Amino acid sequence: MPELLSKAEVDAFLAAYPDLKGVDMLLPDMCGILRGKRIGAEALDKLYEKGVQMPGSTYLLDATGQNCETLVYGTSDGDPDYPCFGIAETLKPVPWASSPTGQVIATMLDKEGEPFFADPRQVLRLAAQPLVDMGLTPVVAIELEFYLIDAEFDPAGRPQPARPPAPAQRQSTTQVYGIEELYDFEAFLVDVETACQAQNVPADTATSEYAPGQYEINLHHVADPVDACDDALMLKRLIKGVARKHGMTASFMAKPFEELAGCGLHVHVSLVDAQGRNIFGAETEDAETGLPVAPALKHAIAGLKATMPDAMAIFAPNANSYRRFQANSYAPINTAWGVDNRTVSLRIPRGGAQDMRVEHRVAGADANPYLAVAAVLAGLHHGLANRLDPGRIERGNAYDTPPSGLPLRWWQALKTMADSSVLPAYLGAHYCESYVAARSFENDNFQAHIPALDYSWYLRTV
């Protein structure tokens, strides 16, 4: 059970912000979309006393916000309400709002007073428990890539990278790690930094990424996976809010442009024992990797490889997600692993023994961070518990190895997850069933639409 918001915390917040108009109560749903209610400042006692009522189906909506007919949650069960309570230490100001506003992450409790099974934060805690039972603490950091999109679409009605303030010209070349590209949107990035400080979001590095208008902001490592994912989701909300204030849209869509790089969610994770030692590090250099890599890291990587196909529907949660997986795109297309190699799925960055970690590079920025990290932790434990072997290391371009083992189409990924014998033990069987049913509902609806390309290719020719 997470620690819930207290009267003392609310009173202290109201004293610090006496002009407060209301607080956005935030529930992250299955898709990682924030839903909830705005609570007036005069009614904040509900967040810690009796709760704010919301239907349980809120966690299980599709990306368009509708109930999934493949689930009993919604109209089939009468859509009952459950109480939602604020979570301690998540009550923060919203600097980009036009009037004095706060926000708080909330959790839903079921009829027994336990966390509702479909809360992604609860799913992550469940998935982390086997590692905790081994006396290990997952230390997690998340990197998020996104595009700044212009308020106006191009003449063809398609989105385009945002135009910087004059006199700068619209970016048109890659310029990865470009410094001038950071100055193009300096005012935006400064406001993001200011908002991060106001909300205690531990972001530290901004990078111009591998496409015009694409950026990455990194978060600190945190010794609690749920806190790390709270940081990631609040950073996404913050970036979107600040971008809107600057007349732009910040998009975390996995592949918004056919010809440009996709957006990833990279998970860095290590495991620390009760004595504070990183179990992935060794005192001596490993001959295969040339780094102080312990056998535990190789077992963990093997587990991530073994469970990656089962979890692909989480790492790539919607139709657009699968457009990101292309050769030579810095989005992985197989389960390769390697040292300091950005063409693989599982990368070991160079460092000392205490720094040894794995960077999981598969998930798109559109993935729900709680579920993505839950799947990663499940893979880590699966590999450690069974002392799995990761196979040969990739020393060259992993794209030279044909795609194999990963379901790179949405329906394939959903079927693979449905058939999984491993993930349900970590994420919960009922949740896995519900996830597959909900995402299959959206997949079927997506496939029922006929895009313009169908008419262009087939209307007159077949």
Model confidence over 141-163: pLDDT tens digits? 999 999 999 988 888 888 888 88
Q: Hey, where are the domains in the chain?
A: 7-116, 127-444
- Indicate whether 326 pLDDT > 90: no
Lowest-confidence range among 117-131, 173-187, 403-417? 173-187
pLDDT for 179 equals 64
Whether the per-residue pLDDT at 169 is higher than 70: the answer is no
Structure tokens at 443: 């997949």
Report how far apart, in Å, the C-alpha atoms of 166 and of each of 162, 170, 177, 186, 438 are. 12, 9, 22, 12, 45
In CATH, the number for domain 7-116 is 3.10.20.70
Q: Is the confidence at residue 424, as pLDDT, over 70?
A: yes
Average pLDDT over residues 1-7: 89
The answer to whether 164 touches 184, Cβ cutoff 8 Å, is: yes
Residue 89 CB contacts under 8 Å (≥ 6 apart), including other chains: 3, 9
Are 259 and 136 contacting, i.e. CB atoms less than 8 angstroms apart? no
β-strand pairing of 137-149 with 249-251: antiparallel
Instruction: Identify the band that residue 75 occupies on the pLDDT scale cut at 50, 70 and 90.
Output: confident
Distance CA 245, CA 325 (A): 32
Percent of the chain with pLDDT over 90: 81
Is the sign of the CA dihedral 383, 336, 392, 354 positive or negative? negative
Q: Answer for the pair 257, 109: CB distance below 8 angstroms, yes or no.
A: no
Other C-beta atoms closer than 10 Å to the C-beta of 152 total 11
Architecture of domain 127-444: 2-Layer Sandwich (3.30)
Tens of pLDDT, residue by residue over 249-285, are 999 999 999 888 899 999 999 999 999 999 999 999 9
pLDDT of residue 171: 62
What average pLDDT does this structure show over 57-80? 91
Q: Which residue has the tokens 């009267």?
A: 7
Three-state SS annotation for the chain: CCCECCHHHHHHHHHHCCCCCEEEEEEECCCCCEEEEEEEHHHHHHHCCCCEEEEHHHHHCCCCCCCCCCCCCCHHHCCCEEEEEEECCCCEECCCCCCCEEEEEEEEECCCCCECCCCHHHHHHHHHHHHHHCCCEEEEEEEEEEEEECCCCCCCCCCCECCCCCCCCCCCCCCCCCCHHHHHCHHHHHHHHHHHHHHCCCEEEEEECCCCCEEEEEECCECCHHHHHHHHHHHHHHHHHHHHHCCCEEECCCCCCCCCCCCEEEEEEEEECCCCCECCECCCCCCCCCCCECHHHHHHHHHHHHHHHHHHHHHCCCCHHHHHCCCCCCCCCCCCEEECCCCCCEEECCCCHHHCCEEECCCECCCCHHHHHHHHHHHHHHHHHHCCCCCCCCCCCHHHCCCCCCCCCHHHHHHHHHCCCCHHHHHCHHHHHHHHHHHHHHHHHHHHCCCHHHHHHHCCCC
Query: What was the pLDDT predicted at 143?
Result: 94
CA dist 199 and 85 (Å) reads 19
Q: How far is CA 156 from the centre of its chain?
A: 31
What pTM was estimated for this model as a whole?
Answer: 0.95
Q: What is d(CA 360, CA 312) in angstroms, rounded to the nearest whole number?
A: 12
CB atoms near residue 166 (< 10 Å): 6
Nearest of 194, 228, 314, 215 to residue 263 by alpha carbon: 215
Q: Which percentage of the chain shows pLDDT scores above 70?
A: 94
Q: Is the pLDDT of residue 343 over 70?
A: yes
Confidence of residue 234 (pLDDT cuts 50, 70, 90): very high
* Per-residue pLDDT tens digits for 207-228: 665 567 888 889 999 999 999 9
Q: Give the chain's largest Cα–Cα span.
A: 70
